[in-house]
Amino acid sequence: MIVTDWAAISPFGVSTADFATGVRSGAPAGDGPRTVPDFDARELLGKQASLSMTRSAALAAATCARLAAEDDVPARTGLVLATTTGSVQSILDVTRVSLTGKKPYRIPPSTILGAAINSAAGQTAIRHALKGPNTTLAAGRPSGLVALGYARRLLDAGRADTVIAGGVEEDSEARSRIDRLCGGKAPLVEGCAMLRLARTGPGLAEVVAVASLVAADGDSATAVRRAVGRVLAPGTPVWAALTSGTTGDPEFTVVADLCRPDVMLPAVTETLGESHAVSATFQLAAVLSHAAADPAAGRLALVTSVDPGGAVAAALLRLGAGR
Pairing relationship of beta strands 191-198 and 162-169 according to DSSP bridges: antiparallel
Mean pLDDT of the chain, nearest integer: 86
Q: Burial level of 53, CB count in 10 A (0-12/13-18/19+)?
A: buried
In whole angstroms, give the CA distance from residue 2 to residue 185. Answer: 36
User: Would you give the DSSP letter of residue 13?
Assistant: B
Pairing relationship of beta strands 162-169 and 300-306 according to DSSP bridges: unpaired
**Of residues 95 and 229, more confidently modeled:** 229
Find which of 35-44, 99-108, 279-288 is predicted with most confidence, using mean pLDDT: 279-288
Average pLDDT over every residue of 61-80: 82
**Of residues 70 and 172, more confidently modeled:** 172
Nearest to 48 by CA among 103, 126, 112, 117: 126
Average pLDDT over every residue of 191-220: 92
| pLDDT band, residue 194 (cuts 50/70/90) | very high
User: Is the pLDDT reported for residue 323 higher than 50?
Assistant: no
List of residues 6+ apart from 312 with CB closer than 8 A: 142, 212, 213, 214, 215, 220, 223, 224, 226, 227, 304, 305, 306
Nearest to 136 by CA among 99, 176, 172, 86: 86
Lowest model confidence (mean pLDDT) among 50-64, 273-287, 301-315:
50-64
List of residues 6+ apart from 177 with CB closer than 8 A: none
**Of residues 3 and 33, more confidently modeled:** 3
**Of residues 68 and 207, more confidently modeled:** 207
Per-residue pLDDT at 30: 64
Q: What is the pLDDT of residues 127-145, one digit of tens each?
A: 888 989 999 998 889 999 9
Per-residue pLDDT at 72: 59
Helix 279-293 vs helix 143-156: angle between axes, to the nearest 10 degrees? 80
129-166 burial, b for 16+ CB within 10 Å, e for fewer? ebebbbbbbbbbbbbbbbbbbbbbebbeeeebbbbbbb
- Radius of gyration of the chain from Cα atoms? 19
In a 3-state reduction of DSSP, which class is residue 242? Answer: strand
Per-residue pLDDT at 226: 95
Give the ranges where 28-160 is alpha helix by DSSP (H): 41-45, 47-50, 55-68, 88-100, 109-115, 119-128, 143-156
User: Is the pLDDT reported for residue 101 higher than 90?
Assistant: no
| pLDDT band, residue 27 (cuts 50/70/90) | confident
Percent of the chain with pLDDT over 90: 50
Element spanning 77, H or E: strand 77-82
Q: What is the pLDDT of residues 156-179, one digit of tens each?
A: 999 999 999 999 998 876 676 776
Per-residue pLDDT at 49: 62
Per-residue pLDDT at 71: 53
From residue 97, how far is each of 45, 80, 87, 113 by CA, in Å? 28, 31, 16, 14
β-strand partners of 81? 136, 166
β-strand partners of 189? 34
| pLDDT band, residue 31 (cuts 50/70/90) | low
Average pLDDT over every residue of 73-87: 83
User: Is the pLDDT reported for residue 117 higher than 90?
Assistant: no
Q: What is the pLDDT of residues 255-291, one digit of tens each?
A: 999 999 999 998 888 888 888 889 999 999 999 999 9
Percent of the chain with pLDDT over 70: 89
Average pLDDT over every residue of 6-28: 90
Judge whether 132 and 124 are in contact, CB under 8 Å.
no
User: Would you give the DSSP letter of residue 73?
Assistant: S
In whole angstroms, give the CA distance from residue 320 to residue 313. Answer: 22
Per-residue pLDDT at 209: 96
